[in-house]
Every structure is written in structure tokens, then in C-alpha cells.
Amino acid sequence: MDKQKENSLMNNAINGQATLDTPMRFERPSILTQVLFALFVLFFLWSTSNAGLSISELLSGLPNMATIGGEMIPPATDRAWPMANAILVTFQMALVGTVIGIALSIPIAILAARNASPHPIVRHVTRSVVSFFRTVPDLAWALFFVASVGLGPFAGTLTIIVDTIGFCARFFAESMEEVDPGPSEALASIGANPIDRIAVVLIPGAMPSFINISLFSLEKAVRSSVVLGLVGAGGIGAELAVSMEMFRYDQAAMIVLMIFVLVFAVEQFSSSTRNRLLRQSK
């Protein structure tokens, strides 16, 4: 009996192996694909030349890097309190700008979502405005607001609000478009108006994505707010710019450490919150 079972199992294995498909192989690319790839390689090589990459200049700059690195150790603590206050302002600027930007992104995303917008023209116009917000660099917005409202964290906060709208509104709209249309259609069939469907189905269905996108937006805003200070938009970036201009590399090292601690703390909070949400959704 055991011998019969062994023979049966062996026959099944042989038959199963015989029916396996051959491994997938790469298909030969078309002539057009080969030409496009060759053009990409040529353009990349040309871009490498225009980017100014130079191994000789890098090697000649290594001693200067070592000198600056040596001057950064140990980090200076003589201005630790003003630096800590600037770090706090940087975080507050990022937090306020992100929260306001997220709050404004939700109605904008409703107008930009295919299954929530009242009219295709409204959707296209809204998406164009959001794309414009996202296309203009943060530093350009910071310079614009610094020229408009003056130096300080208010200009940085306005910059983060606009940048957050450009980031969140697009992904909020896409999240609502990915919600299962069944419940919304069921509500429409019993006479529910579009506002009810948005409030009862679309926003709750997209809420996990909203939270995830918002956390990523906060991380992005914290990193951006550091750079905004370099152009006078407030925060720790201004301290870093002054330290570098005064050749106080030891102070710059202390600022970099503080920035690292801030960004690391925000990323850890964001990561733990996302993991908690994932566990709750299972």
C-alpha cells in the first residue's frame, strides 16, 4: 500500500512538473524602444556634463571638507537657548501651516475629485490651481511672502500652507476617487443629495488615507521649514545661515544636530501613528 502511494505521488509530481510553464523571458525591445533608450543615454551623458560633475574638483575639495568638519567638532553650546527657541519656532511654523493647509485642502479636494466635484469645469480649474501651487518651489513662495508680509515666521507659515494645499489636495482628491462607489450609488438611489454622500461615504471612506497623507505632509513641512529660514522666513534656518556666513561652523554643527533631533522625533511620531492605524484597520 505504501509503495502504491509513493508511485502515485511520484506520478503526480512528474505530471505537475510537465505542465509547468517555461520561465518568462525578456522580450526583444522594438526598434522605437531601442532608439528612445539610446537617446536617453545620450541625453543623460550630456546632462552629466552640464551638471558640472568633476572627480578632480571633488578630490581637491576633500581637504576643505576635512577642515570644515574639524571646525565643527565639538559643537558650540554658547547659543544653545536661542537655537532651541528657533527650533521651537520652526516646529510651530510647520505645525500651524500644515494644520491650516490640511483644513483648506479638504474642500478643495472635494471640488477636484471626479466623484464629488459639482461640474467637470470646476474640477479641471481646481486641479489646475492645485498643480500650480505644487509646481512653484517652496523658496519661490517664501520669497514672495517675505516681500509681501515681511521677514519672519508668518511668511514661512504662509509658504507651508500653500505647499501643503498643493500636496494634500491632490492626494485627498485621488483618495476620494478610490472609495468604493457602491454605498454612494445606494444613497443616491434613495434620494440623498451630493453633500450627504460626500459627508457619509466619501470622506469617511478616504479618512485612513487622509490621515496617512497628513502625517507625510507634516514630515515634509518640518524639513521645508528649516530651508525657508535661509531666505528670511523665520525659524532655525536663519540661525544656520548666520552661523555659516560668520564661519562659526561649530555653531552650525549644533544647529544641524538640533534639526536632526526635531526631524527624527517627528518621523518617529508619524511612523508610530501610521502603524497604529494599520493595526486598527486589520
Cα–Cα distance for residue pair 139/145, rounded to 1 Å:
10
pLDDT at 7: 56
The answer to whether 224 touches 108, Cβ cutoff 8 Å, is no
Q: How confident is the model at residue 119 (pLDDT cuts 50, 70, 90)?
A: confident
Q: For residue 186, is pLDDT > 50?
A: yes
Q: What is the mean pLDDT of residues 216-227?
A: 86
Q: How confident is the model at residue 60 (pLDDT cuts 50, 70, 90)?
A: confident
pLDDT at 19: 47
Per-residue CA distances from 216 to 32, 182, 223, 271, 273 (Å): 39, 29, 11, 9, 11
Average pLDDT value over all residues in the chain: 82
pLDDT at 26: 65
Q: What is the mean pLDDT of residues 52-59?
A: 80
pLDDT at 72: 80
Q: Is 76 helix (H, G, I), strand (E, B) or coil?
A: coil
Q: Using omega within 30 degrees of 0 as the cis cutoff, is the peptide bond preceding 74 cis?
A: yes
pLDDT at 25: 64
Q: How confident is the model at residue 20 (pLDDT cuts 50, 70, 90)?
A: very low
Q: What is the mean pLDDT of residues 149-173?
A: 89
Q: For residue 101, is pLDDT > 90?
A: yes
Q: For residue 282, is pLDDT > 90?
A: no
Q: For residue 271, is pLDDT > 90?
A: no
* C-alpha cell belonging to residue 282: 486589520
Compute, in degrees rounded to 10, the torsion defined by CA atoms 46, 50, 54, 58.
-140
Domain ranges for the chain, please list them.
82-279
Q: How confident is the model at residue 129 (pLDDT cuts 50, 70, 90)?
A: very high
pLDDT at 24: 61
The answer to whether 224 touches 234, Cβ cutoff 8 Å, is no
According to CATH, the superfamily of the domain at 82-279 is MetI-like (1.10.3720.10)
Cα–Cα distance for residue pair 133/95, rounded to 1 Å:
19
pLDDT at 42: 92
* C-alpha cell belonging to residue 64: 576643505
Q: Is 116 helix (H, G, I), strand (E, B) or coil?
A: coil
Q: How confident is the model at residue 1 (pLDDT cuts 50, 70, 90)?
A: very low
